[in-house]
Structure 1
Amino acid sequence: MSNSEISSALSEVTQNTEEVKQENHDKPLSEELSNVTLEEKELILPEEANTSAESLALLDDHFKTPQPPPPPDLTRQVSEDEMLSRQRHLSMLIAEEEESEYVNSASWRDQKRHIFILTEAGKPVYSRHGSEDKLSAVMGVMLALVSCVQDRNDTLRSIHAADHKFVFLIKMPLVLVAVCQMPLTVPQIMGELEYIYNTVISVVTLTQLDRIFEKQKNFDLRRLLSGTDKFLDHLCSSLDSDPQYLLRAIQCYPIPGSIRDVIGQSLQQAKTDDLAFAVLLCSGQVVSVCRMKEHNLKPNDLLILINLITASTAFNDGESWLPICLPEFNPNGFLHAHISYLDDGRNMCLLLLSADRDAFFKLSESRMKVVNKLNRHDCIKTLQASLGKSTYNVSKLGVADLRHFIFKDTNLSQFTFPCFSIPYTIEEHRTRLFGHYQRLRGKLHDPHIPVKLVYEISEHETMLGWVASGFELHAAFGPLVTKKQAIAAVDRLLRWVKQNDDELFMQRPPTF
C-alpha cells in the first residue's frame, strides 16, 4: 500500500470516528472503541505497510515524549585554582563597589584638602582622608594623567576645575598630588607637597628609595613607612593653621635674650666629635639651636624635627634613639637622634643629633652635662615658670585697631605673632583669618606679578601685607580702618618689634 493510500484511509477513519462520536456521544469510551472494526484497527498500523526501519525510527522520534536534560553532575570537584579565581573575582567586585561608594560619599568629597602619594607604578602610599586601598582607582587615574603628559615630553603641574586645584609634584619614583579648594596659589600648594615629600625622605633616604625602586618597580612602600601615618596626618593638619609652613620659617619661644644665651652655652656642653646639632624645644617652639661651625640647620629640617616631637607621645618616657634623615642637610644619609624630655610635664625636649650610629651612651652622658648646667642657672625652672605666660597679647603693643599680625625676619628665617584674642577666640574666625594670611602671601610672592604691598578690605577685616628689606609683615585690622591709619599702625608695630627682637628671636645661635 502506497503512502497516498494510507493517508486516504486515515482520513476516512477520522471521518467515520467523528460520525460515531456524534451518534454515540453518551456512550462510554470503551464501548466506542469496541465498535471499531479490525480493518480500521489495522488501518491505524497496517502490517503490510512497506515502511522502512528508518521511517519508523523517524516517526517514533517525532511522536515520543521529550525527555528532560540530565541533571548536572553535582559530584564534580571544583579545582582549587578555580575556587581561588572565583574568590578573587568576587573580592574585586566588592572592592570596586565599596570604592565607588566611598569616593562618591559627601564626607570624602567635601574635604577642603586631599593629599595623595603614589609610586610611579601606581601603588598607593598615603592618603590624607580615607584608606589608600579604597582609592586605588582614583590614584590610577592620577598616574594616567601624569604619564599622558610625560609621553609628550612635558611635566604636569596643575589642573584647575571650578574652585578646585589639582597640583602635582613629581619626584620619581614618587608622585604627590594635592586637591585643594582653598585660597592658595599653585606655588604655595607645591611648597606644601615639598614638606610632605621631605617627611617621607626623613624616614627613607633618597638613596635607599632609588635603590629599592630600581630593583622592584611595583614595591609597596607602605611596608617601610609603617607607623608614620600619624606624622603625615599631623603635618597635613598643621598646614591648615600653622604659620611655620606658610612662611617657611620657625617660631622661637619668647624669652629674655640673656636666658637664651645661657641655654645656648649649656647646649655647647653636649659637644662630641660626631655631634652635628643640639636643639632645645619648649611647647613645640625653638628655644635654642647649637650647631657645628661648618653646618647649618635649615628651617625645613627643623620643621621635620618639630613635627616629629609634637605628633607623637612615643618619646615621652626615658631616652629614645632614632635614625632620621634631614633632606636639606643630607638627603642620602641618616643622622641619629637622641631624644629626651627634661621636665615631668613633657614640655621641654632636648634633641642631640649625631652622625655616629653607636653614640647613644655617649650622648646620654652629654645630656646629663647639659641638664646640670641648665639647673645651675635655673634655666629649667625659668622655662617652666614661663609656660602659659610666654605668649603676648596684641593689646600689649598699644596699637589701636590692630587685631593680629605675623612678623617674619627674613634674614633669620624666624617669625613671631601674638596669641589670638577677640574676635579670633572662635575657631571659625581663626580659620577665616588664616585664609586671609594665605591669600596675602600668595599675592606678595606671586611668581608672575610679585608685589611689595597689598591692602585689602573685607566684610570682617582690613588686611595689609608688606614685603620689605629684611622683613615680611601680615597684619589684620578692623574693617573700618583706612589705608593711612593702617600704615601708621604698622610703623608703630615695627618699632615695637625692633625694641623686643632680642626676646622674640634667636639672634646669636651658638656653635660647637
Structure 2
Amino acid sequence: MGSSPTASRSSSNNCIRQPNASGQASQADDHGNTTMTVGEDQMSAEEVEAPQEGMGAVKATVEDRDDDGYRPPLPPRPNLSKTPERPTTPGGLNTSHRRPSLLSKPTTAVSSIDIQTLSFPDGSRGTFSTPASRSVSESAALDTPGSMTPKGKHSQNGSEGDDTTSLMSYAPTMKGTGDLASLLNDDINAQSPAWRLLSSKADTVNPFEAIDYENTSLLNFENEFNEIAPVDSKGGNEEELLTQFKAKYKHYLCLSSAGKPIYSRHGDQNLINGYIGIIQTLISFYEGSKDPLHGFTAGGTRFVIFIAGPLYFVAISRLGESDAQLRSQLEALYMQILSTLTLPTLTHLFSNRPNTDLRRPLEGTETLLSSLADTFTKGSPSALLSALECLKLRKSQRYVINNTLLKARTEKLLYGLIVAGGRLVSVVRPKRHSLHPSDLQLIFNMLFEAGGVKAGGGENWIPLCLPGFNNRGYLYMYVSFLSAYDDGQDGEERPSTPGSSAREDEIAVLLISAEKESFYELKQMRDDVVSQLEKNGSMDIIKAAVRQGRPSTADIVPGTQLRHFLYKSRANVQYTMPSFNPYFNGLLPQRRLMNLYNNLHAQIHAKHSHLKVLHSVSRDSVSLAWSTPLFEFYCVAGPNASRASIAHGANKVIQWVKREEERVFIIGGAVF
C-alpha cells in the first residue's frame, strides 16, 4: 500500500508524539522538523478476515479432514504493504496493487500563526504565538476547552552549548471543531501556471511589503513631527489643539517635584498644564506610600516615569517600546539637561528653592531636547544598542589618520575626534580614559541633529558638561565643519535619499579640552590636522567613504534573503548595519523596522530571560535575534523566508563582520 500524504511544520529538537482523535500522530526529529502523518486508510473487509502472514495458517479440525468434501486451506494472503515492489521487465505489465478508494480524504489544517521560540536557563524551550498577529483559527482553538495542551520536554542531545536546549510546545490533543482555516482536497499537487509563477516569486517578497488594512497603528506617523500651534489668548482653538496633541504617537514631559512644567515635546504650557498636574499628583501619591510609580498602561498607551532627584521625566508612547527602552531615553534627556547645567548647579537651584522654574536656566536648549526626542521617536539604532557606528575604512588608512592626530596633538588636548556622516572616523584619547557612548550621543545630537552649531558656520567654542565623564564640571569643545563634497560639485549631483540630511554630508573635527583658555591652541591643531590630511590623501579617502554610504545587504552577502541587520560588538561598544535603501526607504518603513528591532531587543534582554536565539515569524516579516558574549545580532527578511535561509544569511553576515572587523570598528584608537 502507498503511504498517505504528510504535512510538516517547524518545531524544535525534542521528539513529541501525540495521537489525535482520529489516531494520527506527530513526531519531531532531531533536526527540528515536526512531521504529522495522516493515518493509513482502513483495509477492506476481505483483508481484515484474511489470515496473517508467516505461520498463521488456518487450523482444520479432525472432523473436517475425515469429511469427503474436505478441501485444503488457502495459502496465507500476503500483506501488500510489506511486499517489495517487483522490478518490471521489458514488455511486462507493472500491475500495482491498489486499495479500494475511500470516501474520506486526508485533511490538513492551514493557519497563519506567528510563532516565536524562547529558550530558558533551566534547559526548557518554548514556542508560542505572538499576541500582536494572532490568527483567527488560533483564537478559536485556544477558546475550545481541551484543544491545546502545553507540553514540556527536555532536550535529548544534552549539549549545554546548544542554543536550543529546551522546548515548550502547544500540541493538539483533541480534534477542534473550529480550528480549521482551510481544507486541502486531493488536488493539492495540481498547481496552475499562475500559482507556480507566484510561488517562484515568493522569496522575493520584502518585509512590510503587503498592505495590511487592519493595521492602522502607524497610519498618521508622517504627521508626528508637525508642530502644534500655541493656544490663543481666548482659548478658542484649545479643543482643536488637544485633538492634535492626542494624535501624537509619543510625548516626552519634564516637570519638577513641585509640579512646575519644564519641557514638553508637543504643546505649549497652556495646553499641557492639566496633564502636568495629574502626573504630579499620581507620582506624589505613590511616593507618599513608599512605593514609587514606575509606569502604567492606559488603553494602548504606555506611561513610563523616571525620577532623577528633583526632576520627573515621563514618556508616553503608543509605539510598543519596552519600559527599559523608554527609561533609557528619559535618562538621555536628563543627561542633556545636565550637559547644560551640571549636577551641582541643578542640586543647588532646587535645594534653595524647591519650586524653582527651570525653564529660564534652560532657555535656548529646547532645540537640543526636541532633536534628541525626535531621534528616539524616528528610531535610533545607536540609542537602542547603546553603541556607536564607525565609518568603514581600511585598517592602514585609519592608522594614517590616527597618527596625524597624534603628531598634531597639543598639551591641552583631552579628546580629539573626527566624525563624518554622523559616524566616527578616528579618536585620540588618554590611555586610561574613554568617552562614554551616552556622551558621544549628546555631542552628535548637538552637532548633527539640532543644527544650531552648524548654523553658526566656521568655528565654534562650546562649554559642555559630559555627564558620563564628569557630571560636576565643564569641558570646552572646539568644533569645525568641512563638506564631504568638493566646493565645485553641484548640489544636484549629491545623492538625496529620504531620511538623509545635511548630517550625511558633513565632516566635523572636534577637539575637547579642560582648559577654558585653550581656544587658539586647539584652532592651530585643527589647521595642522586638516592640512596634513589633505597632503597625505586621507581627507579624500574620508570624503569618498562618506559619498559611498553604507553598503546594502546584497553587497555584503550576495543572494541573501536578509533585507537588513544590526550587529553590535560588545567588546568595542560599536555597531554596524547596511543601508536602509532600497527596502526601507522613508520615514514610515524605517519606523516599522525599528519597531521590529525594539521587540526583538526587549525579548532577548528581558529581566528573567536568558535567550540566546530568538526566531520570530509574523504576517509581514521573519526576524532573528542572536545574542552571545561577543556580539548581538538582529536581522529581518521577507515573510516567506525559511528559517534555514535566514540562519544561513545570518552566519554569512557574522563571517563578513569577522573578516572586516578592523574596517567597520575602531579597535583601540589613537592613545597617548
1:118-129 alignment runs, 5 A limit: 118-129=255-266
1:66-465 alignment runs, 5 A limit: 101=239, 105-239=242-376, 240-310=378-448, 311-315=450-454, 317-343=457-483, 347-396=506-555, 397-465=557-625
Gap change, CA 1:94 and 1:107, over 3 Å in 2: closer
User: Does the 8 A contact of 2:484 with 2:547 survive in 1?
Assistant: no
Q: 1:467 aligns with which of 610, 623, 627?
A: 627
User: Does the 8 A contact of 2:549 with 2:579 survive in 1?
Assistant: no
Q: Matches of 2:605 and 2:262 in 1, distance apart?
A: 32
Q: Matches of 1:481 and 1:152 in 2, distance apart?
A: 52
Q: Matches of 1:195 and 1:426 in 2, distance apart?
A: 25
Large movers: runs of 4+ above 6 Å? 93-96
Q: Matches of 2:342 and 2:302 in 1, distance apart?
A: 30
Q: Matches of 1:507 and 1:464 in 2, distance apart?
A: 27
More displaced 10-residue stretch of structure 1: 446-455 or 165-174: 446-455
Query: Who is 2:636 aligned against?
Result: 476
Gap change, CA 1:390 and 1:508, over 3 Å in 2: farther
Deviation at 1:464, TM superposition (A): 0.4
CA deviation profile, 1:267-295 (whole Å, cap 9, x unmatched): 22343333211111101111111111121
Q: Matches of 1:124 and 1:219 in 2, distance apart?
A: 10
User: Does the 8 A contact of 2:484 with 2:543 survive in 1?
Assistant: no
TM-score (norm 1): 0.78
More displaced 10-residue stretch of structure 1: 341-350 or 396-405: 341-350
User: Does the 8 A contact of 2:336 with 2:369 survive in 1?
Assistant: yes
Give 3-state SS (helix, strand or coil) of 2:516's partner: coil
Gap change, CA 1:494 and 1:138, over 3 Å in 2: same
Matching residue's letter, 2:592? R
Q: Matches of 2:632 and 2:333 in 1, distance apart?
A: 25
Give 3-state SS (helix, strand or coil) of 2:670's partner: coil
Deviation at 1:154, TM superposition (A): 2.2
Deviation at 1:434, TM superposition (A): 1.3
Matching residue's letter, 1:363? L
Q: Matches of 1:261 and 1:479 in 2, distance apart?
A: 43
Matching residue's letter, 1:412? N
Q: Matches of 2:587 and 2:349 in 1, distance apart?
A: 44
Aligned: 1:509 with 2:669: yes
User: Does the 8 A contact of 2:624 with 2:635 survive in 1?
Assistant: yes
Gap change, CA 1:269 and 1:225, over 3 Å in 2: farther
Matching residue's letter, 1:420? F
Matching residue's letter, 2:526? R
Deviation at 1:399, TM superposition (A): 4.5
User: Does the 8 A contact of 2:446 with 2:452 survive in 1?
Assistant: no
Q: Matches of 2:664 and 2:631 in 1, distance apart?
A: 14
User: Does the 8 A contact of 1:352 with 1:363 survive in 2?
Assistant: yes
Deviation at 1:448, TM superposition (A): 2.7
Query: Who is 1:75 aligned against?
Result: none
Q: Matches of 2:395 and 2:283 in 1, distance apart?
A: 51
Give 3-state SS (helix, strand or coil) of 1:314's partner: helix
TM-score (norm 2): 0.60
Matching residue's letter, 1:278? G
Deviation at 1:375, TM superposition (A): 1.9
Deviation at 1:261, TM superposition (A): 1.5
Matching residue's letter, 2:278? V
User: Does the 8 A contact of 2:422 with 2:444 survive in 1?
Assistant: yes
Gap change, CA 1:99 and 1:186, over 3 Å in 2: farther
Q: Matches of 2:290 and 2:408 in 1, distance apart?
A: 52
User: Does the 8 A contact of 1:213 with 1:219 survive in 2?
Assistant: yes
Deviation at 1:372, TM superposition (A): 2.4
**Alpha carbon RMSD of aligned pairs, Å?**
1.9
Q: Matches of 1:451 and 1:100 in 2, distance apart?
A: 48
CA deviation profile, 1:163-212 (whole Å, cap 9, x unmatched): 11110000021110000111211111101111111111111101111011
More displaced 10-residue stretch of structure 1: 263-272 or 94-103: 94-103
Q: Name which one, 1 or 2, has greater alpha-carbon Rg.
A: 1
Q: 1:499 aligns with which of 656, 659, 667?
A: 659
Gap change, CA 1:452 and 1:96, over 3 Å in 2: farther
CA deviation profile, 1:37-90 (whole Å, cap 9, x unmatched): xxxxxxxxxxxxxxxxxxxxxxxxxxxxxxxxxxxxxxxxxxxxxxxxxxxxxx
Structure 1 residue ranges without an equivalent (≥5) = 1-92
CA deviation profile, 1:329-351 (whole Å, cap 9, x unmatched): 00111100011113485611011
Q: Matches of 2:333 and 2:407 in 1, distance apart?
A: 34
Percent of paired sites with the same residue: 29
Give 3-state SS (helix, strand or coil) of 1:352's partner: strand
Give 3-state SS (helix, strand or coil) of 1:141's partner: helix
Matching residue's letter, 1:359? S
Query: Who is 1:89 aligned against?
Result: none
Deviation at 1:422, TM superposition (A): 3.6
Give 3-state SS (helix, strand or coil) of 2:453's partner: coil
User: Does the 8 A contact of 1:270 with 1:278 survive in 2?
Assistant: no
CA deviation profile, 1:285-332 (whole Å, cap 9, x unmatched): 111111111211011111111101012143352211111011110011
CA deviation profile, 1:435-459 (whole Å, cap 9, x unmatched): 1011100101111334222111112
Give 3-state SS (helix, strand or coil) of 2:368's partner: helix
CA deviation profile, 1:469-505 (whole Å, cap 9, x unmatched): 2100010112112222221221111111111112111
- Higher helix residue share: 1
Deviation at 1:102, TM superposition (A): 5.9
Query: Who is 2:176 aligned against?
Result: none
Give 3-state SS (helix, strand or coil) of 2:348's partner: helix
